[in-house]
Amino acid sequence: MIQKLIDQMAGGLVVSCQALDNEPLYGPEHMAVMAAAAAEGGAVAIRANTPQDVRAIKRKCGLPLIGLYKKHYADSDVYITPTLSEVKEIAEAGAEFVAVDATSLPRPGGQSLEDFIAGIREACPQVGIVADVSTFEEGVAAMKLGVDLVSSTLSGYTPHSPQQAGPDIELVRRLAELRETPVLAEGRIWTPEECEACLQAGAHSVVVGTAITRPQLITRRFVNVFQSFKASN
């Protein structure tokens, strides 16, 4: 089942429908409508945060769903589905995949990534595992642990990964060249041209979030142009 869904995602756009609690579109009902719009536009899958949003989206939209649950623990900087407790909630909400932080950052309770992945396989064997990584070495390590997909999501968001304005296409290329595990390109992708560059680099699918589903930030990019124009005239 999971492999079939991965095959269906090949060469397609995954839309990340997420909103923080201080944003205008925060709430399951808004994210469900956003996911339905993405499906109508041709997306092949949805990425969403929290069990509540996952449930609402599954009721509204029939696309495969990569679920995650952002939660902070005092002893760790890992926050994307950091423990088995969050994984179980996402799986029970109906997500076909769960995205987890697979970086080298210390995990809550000092748990190793190997034990974490093994725990997911035992407790939730029905869900595919998406490993969000920030470096090539982390991607290789995740592949060796047998995850189903590796995503460049966290490149630029850990202190030890490249800090750059655009997507880390080189990371996508290096991981894809291994031909071990399908690679998702994600992070700071704003244009169709950048999506094409990711596909040319070997990405299995491309995940776009902010550029599609966060209108306040899209608007701000346009407004910045107007402000710059006024300042120079």
Give the DSSP letter string of the chain. -HHHHHHHHTT-EEEEE---TTSTT-SHHHHHHHHHHHHHHT-SEEEEESHHHHHHHHHH--S-EEEE-B--BTTBS--BS-SHHHHHHHHHHT-SEEEEE-SSSPPGGG--HHHHHHHHHHH-TTSEEEEE-SSHHHHHHHHHTT-SEEE-TTTTSSTTS---SS--HHHHHHHHHT-SS-EEEESS--SHHHHHHHHHTT-SEEEE-HHHH-HHHHHHHHHHHHHHHHHT-
Residue 29: how many CA atoms within 13 Å on its side-chain side?
1
Residue 9's pLDDT is 98
Can you give the pTM of this predicted structure? Answer: 0.97
Name the CATH superfamily, with its identifier, for domain 2-231: Aldolase class I (3.20.20.70)
pLDDT band at 43 (very low <50, low <70, confident <90, very high): very high
pLDDT tens readout for residues 179-207 = 999 999 999 999 999 999 999 999 999 99
Amino acid at 68: L
pLDDT band at 32 (very low <50, low <70, confident <90, very high): very high
pLDDT tens readout for residues 12-28 = 999 999 999 999 999 99
